[in-house]
Homo-oligomer: A and B are copies of this chain.
Amino acid sequence: MAPVPNPRMIYAKPIPQGAWPVVGEHLVYDNSRTIDPETVPLNGGFLTKALYLRTRTNAAQALSRTCGRGCAKSIASYSSPMLAGAPVVGLCVMQIVRSEKPEFKPGDLVYGASHWELYTVQPYMEARRIWNPAEWPWWTANMDDFGDAQKIPDPKGAFSLSKYCSVAGSPGMTAYVSWKKYANAKKGETVFVSAGASAVGSLIIQLAKLDGMKVIASAGSDAKVEYLRSLGCDVPFNYKKKAYKEVLGEHGPLDVYYDNVGAEALAAALDNMNLFGRVIICGQVAEYNVAPEDRFGIKNTDMIFKRNVTVSGFLAPYIAGEYMGQFFEDVPRMLAEGELKSTERIYEGMEAAPQAFVDMLKGGWDTAEGKVVVSLVGM
Contact = CB atoms under 8 A, between A and B. Distances in A.
Nearest to A287: B302
A21 interface: no
Given A308-B315, A308-B319, A301 B262 contact: yes
Contacts of A319: 308
A274 B297 CA distance: 22
Contacts of A293: 299
Interface string A163-187: 0000000000000000000000000
Contacts of A314: 305, 308
Contact of A275 (B138, B253, B275, B303): B138
A310 interface: yes
Interface stretch (A24-32, A35-43, A228-236, A278-286): A278-286
A308 B299 contact: no
A276 interface: yes
Contacts of A138: 253, 274-275
A313 B298 CA distance: 15
A131 interface: no
A318 B312 contact: no
Contact of A281 (B274, B283, B304, B315): B304
B275 A307 contact: no
B275 A139 contact: yes
A299 B305 contact: no
B302 A262 contact: yes
Interface residues of A, number: 39
A308 B139 CA distance: 10
Interface in A37-57: none
B318 A305 contact: no
A306 B299 contact: no
Contacts of A262: 301-302
A214 to B, nearest CB: 15
Nearest to A310: B312
Interface in A298-339: 298-315, 318-319
A299 B297 contact: yes
A309 B313 contact: yes
A300 B287 CA distance: 10
B306 A313 contact: yes
A298 B293 CA distance: 10
23 contacts: A78-B307, A138-B275, A139-B307, A262-B302, A275-B318, A281-B301, A281-B304, A282-B305, A284-B301, A287-B302, A296-B297, A297-B298, A297-B299, A298-B299, A303-B313, A304-B313, A305-B315, A306-B313, A306-B315, A310-B311, A310-B313, A311-B311, A311-B313
Task: In the A-B complex, list the 4 residue pairs whose CB atoms are closest, starting with the nearest.
Answer: A297-B297, A304-B313, A305-B313, A311-B311
